[in-house]
C-alpha cells in the first residue's frame, strides 16, 4: 500500500493543525484577587497555618536570642572565649529567625 504523505509532511501538518485548533480557545485574564491570594487570607486554613508558622518563627527566634544571651553571660562569668562565641552565634541566629518571621508576614500582608 502506498503512503499518503511523506514523513516530513506529517511534521508540518500536525503542528499546524494543533495551532489552528488552539486559536479557537477563549482565554480570560484572571483578576488580581486570584485563588492563591485569597487562600493566604487568615480566614482560610492555609492562611491560618502560615500565620501560626510565622508566630512559631518569632517565638523560636526569641527563645534562641534569650538562650544565646544567657550562654554569653555564663561565658563572661567564666571568662570562656569559646562560650562567648557560641552564645553570640545563638543570639544572632535567633535574630535572623525572628527577622524571617516578621519579613515573611510583612511581605504576604503587603501582597494581600
Domain assignment present for residue 94? The answer is: yes
C-alpha to C-alpha distance for 99 and 104, rounded to whole angstroms: 8
Domain assignment present for residue 55? The answer is: yes
Domain assignment present for residue 104? The answer is: yes
Domain assignment present for residue 21? The answer is: no
Mean pLDDT of 6-27: 70
Domain assignment present for residue 18? The answer is: no
Q: Is the pLDDT of residue 1 over 60?
A: no
Please check whether residue 83 is in contact with residue 74, taking contact to mean a CB–CB distance below 8 angstroms: yes
What one-character DSSP code corresponds to residue 32? S
For residue 39, the enclosing domain spans 32-111
Average pLDDT value for the chain: 78
Region at 29 (left for phi over 0; alpha for psi -120 to 50; beta for the rest): beta
Domain assignment present for residue 60? The answer is: yes
Report pLDDT for 73. 92
Whose CA is closest to 71, among 85, 92, 61? 85
Angle at 40 between CA 63 and CA 58, to 5 degrees: 5
Cell numbers given for 50: 502560615
Cell numbers given for 74: 555564663
pTM: 0.59
Of residues 48 and 6, more confidence is placed in 48
Cell numbers given for 108: 504576604
Domain assignment present for residue 26? The answer is: no
Q: Is the pLDDT of residue 112 over 80?
A: no
Domain assignment present for residue 16? The answer is: no
Structural domains of the chain, count: 1
Q: Is the pLDDT of residue 27 over 70?
A: no
Q: Where are the alpha helices (DSSP H) in the chain?
A: 7-22, 35-39, 45-78, 81-111
Amino acid at each position: 500500500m502506498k503512503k499518503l504523505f511523506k514523513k516530513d509532511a506529517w511534521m508540518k501538518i500536525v503542528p499546524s493543525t494543533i495551532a489552528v485548533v488552539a486559536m479557537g480557545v477563549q482565554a480570560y485574564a484572571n483578576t488580581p484577587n486570584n485563588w492563591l491570594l485569597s487562600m493566604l487570607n487568615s480566614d482560610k486554613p492555609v492562611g491560618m497555618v502560615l500565620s501560626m508558622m510565622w508566630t512559631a518563627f518569632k517565638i523560636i527566634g526569641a527563645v534562641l536570642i534569650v538562650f544565646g544571651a544567657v550562654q554569653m553571660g555564663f561565658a563572661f562569668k567564666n571568662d570562656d572565649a569559646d562560650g562567648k562565641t557560641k552564645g553570640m552565634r545563638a543570639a544572632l541566629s535567633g535574630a535572623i529567625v525572628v527577622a524571617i518571621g516578621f519579613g515573611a508576614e510583612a511581605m504576604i500582608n503587603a501582597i494581600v
